[in-house]
């Protein structure tokens, strides 16, 4: 950490008990964000603008213990309206492609090709196919998702919409908004829907 860049207010926050007048929450937040931004360097496509929170993130940060019900419902409604379903109406692609996308953590980093396709990195947070032994547990297990939920239109729309914009179904979710933020294309999302729902997918074996 570079101590030259720490504002006096931040030092005050760090040594609150030693300060004659404690700083306000807003000042402490400004100092903390300033410190955070100063400790990152932009490189290639990974700019420090990524540290700027959008409306959803800013609102969720204001309520770290969860949004009040009315605000959560409002947020989900506005996020639901952002979901773009494919013009073809085809929400299920090829599960084999979906498995490759779920496995891949490539994309959006400074050393990735900004034009190349990104992966979904789903296994970082979810169990999907039991063939993959290494997976994260931040999200629930999605093993047998289609077997349990079925493959009808409503389930397809939900799975597609959830991957497109997770916030539409649970406010302040930790899951990235893959379609909304341009990480995955409509076609890639449809392949992931197939991975989750197709009876032939290893997720449903
Ligand atoms: C950073 C962690 C993270 C990543 C990466 C992630 N998810 Fe999630 N996901 C979550 C969390 C947490 C939840 C539960 C909270 C919620 O519903 O938003 C969730 C929920 C879901 C659900 C809803 C489950 C249900 O019971 O209805 C689906 C479907 C899903 N994720 C699919 C995916 C797919 C497909 C990918 C890859 C493109 C992915 N997730 C990547 C964290 C993640």
DSSP per-residue string spanning the chain: --GGG--HHHHHHHTGGG-SSPPPHHHHHHHHHHHHHHT---BTTB-GGGGS--HHHHHHHH-TT---HHHHHHHHHHHHTT----TT------HHHHHHHHH---SSSTTS-TTSPP---GGGT----TT------SSPP-TTHHHHH-SSHHHHHHHHHHHH-GGGTSTT-SS--TTTTTSS-HHHHHHHHHHHH-TTSGGG-
pLDDT at 16: 56
Query: Which one of 93, 120, 126 would you pick to mutate in the ligand 1 pocket, going by the greatest count of ligand atoms within 8 A of its CB?
Result: 126
What's the pLDDT score for residue 2?
46
pLDDT for the residue 159 = 98
Q: Which domains does the chain have, with CATH numbers?
A: 3-68 (no CATH), 95-204 (1.10.760.10)
The residue nearest atom 5 of ligand 1, judged by CA position, is 122
Nearest residue CA, atom 19 of ligand 1? Answer: 139
pLDDT digits (tens, 9 = 90+) for 130-173: 999 999 999 999 999 999 999 999 999 999 999 999 999 999 99
Of 75, 91, 125, best ligand 1 pocket probe by most atoms within 8 Å of the beta carbon: 125
Q: pTM score, two decimals?
A: 0.89
Distance 126 CA to ligand 1 centre (A): 7
Ligand 1 nearest-atom number relative to CA 174? 12
Q: Which residues is 46 bridged to in the sheet?
A: 43
Instruction: Read off the pLDDT band of 3 (50, 70, 90).
Output: very low
The predicted pLDDT at position 1 comes to 44
> Residue 144 C-alpha to ligand 1 middle, in angstroms?
14
**d(CA 55, ligand 1 centre) in Å:** 21
């Amino acid at each position: 950490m570079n101590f030259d860049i720490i504002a006096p207010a931040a030092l005050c926050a760090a040594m609150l008990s030693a300060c004659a007048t404690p700083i306000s929450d807003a000042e402490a937040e400004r100092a903390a964000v300033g410190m955070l931004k100063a400790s990152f360097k932009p490189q290639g496509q990974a700019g420090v603008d990524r540290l700027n929170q959008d409306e959803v993130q800013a609102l969720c940060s204001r309520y770290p213990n969860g949004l009040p019900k009315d605000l959560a419902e409002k947020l989900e409604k506005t996020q639901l309206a952002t979901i773009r379903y494919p013009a073809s109406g085809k929400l299920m692609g090829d599960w084999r492609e979906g498995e490759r996308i779920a496995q891949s953590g490539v994309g959006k980093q400074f050393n990735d090709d900004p034009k190349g396709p990104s992966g979904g990195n789903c296994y970082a947070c979810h169990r999907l196919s039991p063939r993959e032994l290494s997976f994260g547990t931040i999200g629930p297990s999605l093993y047998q998702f289609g077997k349990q939920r079925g493959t009808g239109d409503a389930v397809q729309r939900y799975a597609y919409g959830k991957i497109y914009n997770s916030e539409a179904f649970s406010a302040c979710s930790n899951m990235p908004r893959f379609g909304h933020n341009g990480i995955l294309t409509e076609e890639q999302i449809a392949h992931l829907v197939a991975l989750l729902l197709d009876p032939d997918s290893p997720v449903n074996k």
